[in-house]
Structure 1
Amino acid sequence: KWFLAIYLVTQSKTNIAALALRRQLGISWKAAWLLKHKLMDAMRQRESSQPLSGDIRVDDAYLGGEYPGGKSGRGSENKTAFVAAVEMRNGQPNRVRFDPVDGFSFAALMPWASSALRAGSVITSDGLSGFRVVQQLGFQHRVVIAPKGKAGTEIDAFKWLNVLIGNLKTTLSGTHHAFKFSKYAARYLAEVQYRFNRRADLCALIPRLLKAVMQAKPCPRGVFQALIEQET
């Protein structure tokens, strides 16, 4: 069951939901949910130790929409902030990182920048004040102010980054429709990141994820069982 689950998770063109895993594996939804989240957490642990380097483009992004009658814009209670970053090589995206953060202040972005970026990299942002934290850490920081509207998504500096963010959101919304962003964003984002960063060799994804699972820190069933009960 585990081997087949790893195959399905790694070889699917888009993400595969726990409900689809249940049907493919012939197990209960709870067991499929538990298995899927253990695999995603192994991906998260693996990706957390892989900083980007070189020419890096960064942007602020959010998962989730606004609650009816709730706060609007970035203050919405249903929105989870994350940093989208892409490592460019020869004009093409090489690797990405999608990291949940508490916000886009200096204090929130300092730990992210310290762990997600390799020393000596050149960071390009759109001028959001929080990203100036990279200068304090000794990175070269290039600011490109993007025009408003659709034209701002198509400028060379951020074109590929915006494509990747769009693909990410389409993949998540098309497969899962909705999930508790504040609880599970790190795992779902890590799954997309893990697969993209290893897209060049789909066959190798299977043994590589097996290795990641064996090296990951334990994910006790009791912790996941409590989460499953909250879901149901």
Structure 2
Amino acid sequence: MIRRSTLHVMPLAALLMLGMSACQPVSAASDALPAPTVDAPKTTAHGEQVAVLAGGCFWGIEAVFEHVKGVHQVIAGYAGGDADTAHYDEVSEGDTGHAESVQVHFDPAEVSYGTLLQVFFSVALDPTELNRQGPDSGTQYRSVIFYGNTEQQRIAGSYIAQLTAAKSFPAPIVTQVVPLKAFYPAEAYHQNYFRLHPNNPYIVFNDAPKVAQLKRLFPALYQPDRRVVEVQLP
């Protein structure tokens, strides 16, 4: 496995030789998937809820959800392992139990948890790939829905069952649905990576197409770039 820290400094021709010509979005869905039949009840009371999702490199997942209306902040980080191994160099080895994840802060009066999952499966990843996404492979790139409560668990499980019954993908969905034990923010240089490094070849080939796919499939949900939110790290 080639680490992204190495890919950052490789010339473009070398990246193409490595097969990083993923100019199409990673998701296997060519059209927007149906909305979940089971979702959180609509609310008119504004507030903040949190979703934690993993599906490959956190740069791309972060970029997608930063462009969803109703999402106020997205933090790249790690979930699934212990605090003492929640560091990029260790997580990259693939044996810490962590998955590169994002913590999505959203207003349920503007966007529902189920809609976030609809975007997740339609745009952000290919949920049929086991322990990999695009050019990245290893358990740290597995797809996971880390639920924070029983309602999120119910919505996630129901939606995967719905997509499976509809045969929305050509292969079984391997996305895990597991309880969130803890989320650990990633290092500062990983935050807002898509916004701050738009010309990075990895971003150009792997993540920019996902944001474009979001705009195409969900125009009513899409929001253009906003001011970068500074993540307050502990």
State the TM-score, normalizing by the size of structure 2: 0.30
- Structure that is richer in helix per residue: 1
Q: 1 or 2 for the larger relative contact order (CA 8 Å, sep ≥6)?
A: 2
State the TM-score, normalizing by the size of structure 1: 0.30
